[in-house]
Chain A
Amino acid sequence: MTALAALIRRDIRIALRVGGGALIGVLFFLTVTVLMPFALGPDLALLTRLGPSILWLGALLASLLTLDRLFTSDHEDGSLDLIVMGRMPLELACAAKALAHWLAAGLPLILATPVLGLMLNLDATATSAVALTLLVGTPALTFIGMIGAALAVTLHRGGLLLAVLVLPLSIPVLIFGVAASQAAISGPLPFGTPFSILCAISLVSFVIGPFAAAASLRHGLD
């Protein structure tokens, strides 16, 4: 248990320090959201209507952007080999790394949501709905994306390949995240239905992600 906590603490510390790059995700999220009015026009009514979708898309791309860091830096300095050979089950270690990555890179996105919601003219209900769905949905993005990150690190190819592999798998999260936000704002559906399916998808990804990532690391590293 202490080893697990130590791994999480270490990963968060590295991510937040100079060269960690966890906060680049938030900056990207902010920039994408600022770009949207330039593409769509400064019509506040339109931005209000599209706001939840814009925020969800921005958060999806931002969490994809930082995923590359999940295993590559550890692979480069050799600590990934130590983790693979260590006594802690690799599945557990992968889950811990993903959790740490989400705390360092995913949570700031949710904290930034209220500010970005103001810029998109969302009211308090809409902003809190988006923030709540992001809080439940972004862990799923991290845990699904971890599979792609693990594959990419074993292949020594990151970046673009990771995006191509992970984006189709994250479609369900996007669908139910946006649907739940829209349901809370305008209805007609009850908020609970898509929201509980979103929770279910997150729970499923907590199971699939660590096992697939661990299998990929175990088979792929040499």
Chain B
Amino acid sequence: MTLIDLANPTKFLSLTGRILPWLAGATAILLMIGFYQAAMAPDDYQQGATVKIMFIHVPNAWLSMFVWGVMSLAALGTLVWRHPLADVAAKAAAPIGAAFTFLALVTGSLWGRPMWGTYWQWDARLTSVLILFLMYLGLIALWRAVDDPSRAARAAAILTLVGALNLPIIKFSVDWWNTLHQPASVLRMGGSTLDRAFLIPLLVMAVGFSLLFVTLHLAAMRNEILRRRVRSLQIMQASQQAA
């Protein structure tokens, strides 16, 4: 079973149809274990119970960047190999990535309220995640601006790759801007080494959320394939009626 075999949407549908329930089950079990461990984790001596926001915040922040990486691979698949499922994968990943980024921002802001005393701080990490969120929204807007999926796919693929090249530059400049403008008093999370009592639940949650992404992504890809079939059937029907 190679990537080329999956180019046939019917094969892809039947394979993912068999895999998806197992993936969903594994995701549910891992997330339940993770939530239990996170609830049982001791309070931080400084941050109290609010430290538990970390177990949701950090996996979301990781995934917000990981999903752009997945979309960049899919973009290469669209432009270089013309893999028929690559643009389906890219299109399905964008809203999921935007959702993870949004959750990272919201949980970060909720965490910031008790810790920094404000919902929003122009902290370097928050700002660059916000820019990442804006770029996700721009990409989704691009997908939605065109009704022809393959034409939209190539434009979105170029924008995704340009974004992948630019995101490190943006991150670097925001870091630089922040150290220039902000006093050094901003609280930084992490910093010190993380205790095992926090590390293990965090890793379980990270794996759980990654599985959640894979599950949602495969399901969204199936939906997209079916949606395209419905679309071409409708076009066929309309042209038959016209004839």
Contacts and interface: CB of A to CB of B under 8 A. Distances in A.
A121 interface: no
Given A165-B142, A208-B165, A220 B173 contact: no
Interface string A163-178: 0110011011001100
B interface: dominant SS: helix
The A interface, classified by DSSP as helix, strand, loop or mixed, is: helix
B169 interface: yes
Interface in B158-205: 158-159, 161-163, 165-166, 169-170, 172-174, 176-177, 180
Nearest 6 pairs of A and B residues by beta carbon: A172-B173, A219-B154, A175-B173, A175-B177, A164-B138, A216-B158
Interface residues of B, number: 29
A201 interface: yes
Interface in B8-51: none
B145 interface: yes
Contacts of B173: 171-172, 175-176, 197
Given A147-B162, A179-B180, A220-B154, A155 B79 contact: no
Nearest to B144: A161
A170 to B, nearest CB: 10
Interface in A103-152: 147, 151
A151 B177 contact: no
Interface of B: 79, 131, 134-135, 137-138, 141-142, 145-146, 151-152, 154-155, 158-159, 161-163, 165-166, 169-170, 172-174, 176-177, 180
A219 B158 contact: yes
B73 to A, nearest CB: 17
Contacts of A155: 142, 145-146, 151-152, 155
Contacts of B174: 171, 175
Contacts of B154: 154, 216, 219-220
